Amino acid sequence: MAERQLIQQVLMNGRICTLVIEEGRITEIGTADLLPEPGDSVWNANGLLLLPAFRDAHVHLDKAFPTDRWISRKPVSSIFEQFKLEKELLAGCKDRRKELAIQTLEAMLASGTVEARVHVDIDPDLGLSHLELMLQLKEQYASRMAIELVAFPQQGLLRSHSTPYIREALRMGADLVGGVDPAGVDRNVERSLATMFELAAEFDKRIDLHLHDPGHLGVYTIEKMLDYTAEASMQGKVTVSHAYGLGEVDPSVVAELGSRMAAAELDLTTSVPFDTAMPPVPLLAKQGVKISLATDHTGLDAWTPYGNPDILRRGRLLAEKYIWNDDLRMSSVFEWMSRGSLELQAGDAADFILVEALNVPHALATMAQRQLVCKAGVPVAGSLLQENGRRAAWMNIPKGERMADDYND
Ligand SMILES: [Zn+2]
């Protein structure tokens, strides 16, 4: 029989529980007095709060600048100048790509992210070099983080003549077709989207589009995406990232588009930017659109010096932006940073984070320290984790010093 792992004194679903894990899944959420059986392995969480592990729905691992030297940026006046600048600046740290990607992955894990959708730059100049690296890292990190790879033509799918490279990326194992601004960058909404949907159909892949185009141009692009989604029967397989334009048009337009997006299961990913317009998340969520939060920028890069790998920071920003000061709405943010609901149930994968917090809104408000991050019941990161002996990880983690009674209401 497989070994059972009992985590005692876990604060979850509003009470102190005993969590039972078998073969990577939660098999029971017992009361605080649930006794171990012979052969069970036991660890005492001493009242740490359990949160569902985080999912970062949009991130780049091939854009980070080194942290040990400053790379200066200069102002740019168009997205094309920005593309060019990024290429120049990244070329200077080309040899450190792998090291920097690993640094980012470790920082994401430490903050509780065990699932990530990673956009990978592909163009005729880079070829598939970044994808090769990311496929390698995806495999290397598989037991700690589930990574999906988006074949992303950062310089424009049509504009940079990247279609054959994206096709090859899909053949090599990329999970999604990426794209950027079919109007603003590719200058041909129909052909750009048609190419993306054809590639997706050819390889039976999903789609995730970067859409920075403003106002009604953004709305029009999403309408077209909806048409293509219906035509290709790709409901539930298409995501629009950013969609800044939805923050610049009348709410009635967003409401109508939102209900169409919900019907087509066209998801929206946002990094909660405050340096630009952003989609009205509460309105779209009300219309039934699936929302996912993302870091997009994880540190210093060519787009911003203000990135951060901690997705909880994005969730907090969202709650602050909409002045969600009540417990219910503060807690709701966590559903958009994880795969499931806030309340884990028996049968769920044992992907969770243990944090030092009194309850869920408190964890958001205080950006609670991630003590232990677990994937499939195995600790994979967090300040308590000792790097040695991950196999017997629970045995190697010191127990907390605080008493569970401190956390009772
Ligand atoms: Zn991006």
Q: pLDDT per residue over 77-114, tens digit each?
A: 998 999 999 999 988 888 999 999 999 999 999 999 99
Look at residue 387 in the predicted model and tell me its pLDDT. Answer: 57
3-state secondary structure of 96: helix
Kindly give the distance from the C-alpha atom of residue 326 to the centroid of ligand 1, in angstroms, as a whole number.
31
pLDDT at 1 over 90: no
140 backbone φψ class: left, alpha, beta (φ>0; ψ -120 to 50): alpha
353 backbone φψ class: left, alpha, beta (φ>0; ψ -120 to 50): beta
Kindly give the distance from the C-alpha atom of residue 212 to the centroid of ligand 1, in angstroms, as a whole number.
10
Which range, 69-78, 260-269, 293-302, has the best average confidence (pLDDT)? Answer: 260-269
Kindly give the distance from the C-alpha atom of residue 297 to the centroid of ligand 1, in angstroms, as a whole number.
7
242 within 8 A of 293, measured Cβ to Cβ: no
Kindly give the distance from the C-alpha atom of residue 388 to the centroid of ligand 1, in angstroms, as a whole number.
34
Q: How far is residue 77's CA from residue 397's CA, in Å, rounded to a whole number? A: 51
CA distances in angstroms from 366 to 139, 272, 309, 316, listed in the order given: 34, 18, 17, 9
pLDDT at 76 over 90: yes
Kindly give the distance from the C-alpha atom of residue 173 to the centroid of ligand 1, in angstroms, as a whole number.
20
Closest listed residue to residue 3, CA positions, set 26, 21, 30, 29 = 21
Amino acid at the residue 68: D
Look at residue 409 in the predicted model and tell me its pLDDT. Answer: 39
- The tokens for 263 are 């019907």
Kindly give the distance from the C-alpha atom of residue 209 to the centroid of ligand 1, in angstroms, as a whole number.
9
Look at residue 339 in the predicted model and tell me its pLDDT. Answer: 80
Using pLDDT thresholds of 50, 70 and 90, give the confidence band for residue 13.
confident
Q: Which residue has the higher pLDDT, 89 or 117?
A: 117
Q: How far is residue 119's CA from residue 324's CA, in Å, rounded to a whole number? A: 30
Q: How far is residue 265's CA from residue 262's CA, in Å, rounded to a whole number? A: 5
Angle at 315 between CA 51 and CA 283, to 5 degrees: 115
Look at residue 405 in the predicted model and tell me its pLDDT. Answer: 46
pLDDT tens digits, residue range 167-176?
A: 999 999 999 9
CA distances in angstroms from 359 to 104, 310, 327, 370, listed in the order given: 28, 19, 10, 14
- Which residues partner with 124 through β-bridges? none
Kindly give the distance from the C-alpha atom of residue 371 to the centroid of ligand 1, in angstroms, as a whole number.
29
Kindly give the distance from the C-alpha atom of residue 45 to the centroid of ligand 1, in angstroms, as a whole number.
37
Using pLDDT thresholds of 50, 70 and 90, give the confidence band for residue 333.
very high
Look at residue 274 in the predicted model and tell me its pLDDT. Answer: 84
Kindly give the distance from the C-alpha atom of residue 296 to the centroid of ligand 1, in angstroms, as a whole number.
5
State mean pLDDT over 217-227.
98
Kindly give the distance from the C-alpha atom of residue 263 to the centroid of ligand 1, in angstroms, as a whole number.
25
Kindly give the distance from the C-alpha atom of residue 181 to the centroid of ligand 1, in angstroms, as a whole number.
12
Kindly give the distance from the C-alpha atom of residue 403 to the centroid of ligand 1, in angstroms, as a whole number.
43
Give per-residue burial for 314-336: e unless 16+ CB within 10 Å, then b: bbbbbbeeeebeeeeebbbbbbb
Look at residue 3 in the predicted model and tell me its pLDDT. Answer: 84
Using pLDDT thresholds of 50, 70 and 90, give the confidence band for residue 391.
low
Kindly give the distance from the C-alpha atom of residue 367 to the centroid of ligand 1, in angstroms, as a whole number.
24
Look at residue 393 in the predicted model and tell me its pLDDT. Answer: 66
pLDDT at 198 over 60: yes
Kindly give the distance from the C-alpha atom of residue 119 to the centroid of ligand 1, in angstroms, as a whole number.
7
Kindly give the distance from the C-alpha atom of residue 6 to the centroid of ligand 1, in angstroms, as a whole number.
39
Using pLDDT thresholds of 50, 70 and 90, give the confidence band for residue 203.
very high
Kindly give the distance from the C-alpha atom of residue 58 to the centroid of ligand 1, in angstroms, as a whole number.
6
- The tokens for 292 are 């996912």
Kindly give the distance from the C-alpha atom of residue 407 to the centroid of ligand 1, in angstroms, as a whole number.
40
Domains and CATH numbers, the chain: 5-53+341-407 (2.30.40.10), 54-336 (3.20.20.140)
DSSP result, 256-296: HHHHHHHHTT-EEEE---SSS----HHHHHHTT--EEE--B
Kindly give the distance from the C-alpha atom of residue 48 to the centroid of ligand 1, in angstroms, as a whole number.
34
In the DSSP assignment, the letter for residue 65 is: P
297 within 8 A of 304, measured Cβ to Cβ: yes
Kindly give the distance from the C-alpha atom of residue 60 to the centroid of ligand 1, in angstroms, as a whole number.
6
pLDDT at 227 over 90: yes
Using pLDDT thresholds of 50, 70 and 90, give the confidence band for residue 2.
low
Q: Which residue has the higher pLDDT, 340 or 205?
A: 205
Kindly give the distance from the C-alpha atom of residue 210 to the centroid of ligand 1, in angstroms, as a whole number.
6
Kindly give the distance from the C-alpha atom of residue 378 to the centroid of ligand 1, in angstroms, as a whole number.
30
CA distances in angstroms from 295 to 57, 108, 131, 196, 229, listed in the order given: 8, 10, 20, 24, 26
Kindly give the distance from the C-alpha atom of residue 239 to the centroid of ligand 1, in angstroms, as a whole number.
12
Look at residue 408 in the predicted model and tell me its pLDDT. Answer: 42
Look at residue 386 in the predicted model and tell me its pLDDT. Answer: 64
